[in-house]
Amino acid sequence: MKILIAYTSKNGTVRTCVDRLCTSLNGLDVTAADLNMSTPNVADYDMVILGGAVHFGKWMPAMRDFIKDQYDALMQTKLGLFLCSGLAHEQEYYIEKLFSKELRDHAFQTLYFGGSLRKDGLPFFDKLVVRHLRSIIIESEIDDGEYTPSMPGILPENIEKMGTYARKELFREKE
Ligand SMILES: Cc1cc2nc3c(=O)[nH]c(=O)nc-3n(C[C@H](O)[C@H](O)[C@H](O)COP(=O)(O)O)c2cc1C
């Protein structure tokens, strides 16, 4: 039973989530592939867990191409979907925008893994974007009538949940 985790990550948050997911799937035959480095063949796996971070409201091109080129195979395999973003309050909007309804309906689980708006270590331009995103969160919370800034973080409970559901799904027919 081979599992593929196919992801894109620009600055490492998604990679950290994928490392945690690999730990949660400990003992299974898992391959984690950064789509910016390689293009695995979906048909070679029994399950695919697919996800990445939102950049300017979109997927990175490697994720877009992967979904487009292997869409039929994704619709035929056991599929888990996840997304990371800086704006937690937009998670449902992004999930619906970036994964087609057909893919979401087919998936055994679609989960938000959180995100990071930390600036340390980022390239200069990305720091500016992150600063802008932080201000959107603060503005929206002031508009909501309460000023309780809640910067995002990785959500280990959702990563763990994906691992648990993936195990169940993988062995479902054997029970
Ligand atoms: C250039 C850039 C653009 C981004 N655009 C968005 C965006 O449109 N919406 C959002 O919610 N978060 C956005 N983010 C935040 C990222 O989704 C978040 O930082 C995520 O944790 C990045 O994952 P990564 O480190 O694996 O690339 C952006 C971050 C950067 C650096």
11 C-alpha to center of ligand 1: Å?
9
pTM of the full predicted structure?
Answer: 0.93
Q: Quick count: other Cβ atoms within 10 Å of Cβ 49?
A: 28
Direct distance between the N- and C-terminal alpha carbons of the chain, in angstroms, rounded to an integer: 15
Higher per-residue pLDDT: 142 or 166: 166
Mutate to test the pocket of ligand 1, among 10, 95, 131 (most ligand atoms within 8 A of CB): 10
- Mean per-residue pLDDT of the chain: 93
The confidence score (pLDDT) of residue 145 equals 74
Mutate to test the pocket of ligand 1, among 19, 126, 133 (most ligand atoms within 8 A of CB): 133
pLDDT(142) > 80: no
**What is the average per-residue pLDDT within 77-87?**
96
Residues of the chain within CATH 3.40.50.360 domain(s) are 2-116+153-174
The confidence score (pLDDT) of residue 99 equals 98
**Taking CA 32 as the corner, what is the angle to CA 127 and CA 54, rounded to the nearest 5 degrees?**
35
pLDDT(175) > 80: no
The confidence score (pLDDT) of residue 72 equals 98
Euclidean distance between CA atoms 107 and 42, whole angstroms: 14
Which pLDDT tens digit goes with each residue over 26-80? Answer: 999 999 999 999 999 999 999 999 999 999 999 999 999 999 999 999 999 999 9
The confidence score (pLDDT) of residue 57 equals 97
Predicted confidence band of residue 174 (pLDDT cuts 50, 70, 90) = low
2 C-alpha to center of ligand 1: Å?
30
Pocket, ligand 1, Cβ cutoff 6 A: 9-14, 53-57, 84-87, 90, 115-117, 126, 129-130, 133
* Among the listed residues 78, 99, 77, 82, the one whose alpha carbon sits nearest the alpha carbon of residue 20: 82
Higher per-residue pLDDT: 89 or 99: 99
Fold exhibited by the domain 2-116+153-174: Rossmann fold (3.40.50)
The confidence score (pLDDT) of residue 148 equals 62
Which pLDDT tens digit goes with each residue over 104-135? Answer: 999 999 999 999 998 889 999 999 999 999 98
117 C-alpha to center of ligand 1: Å?
7
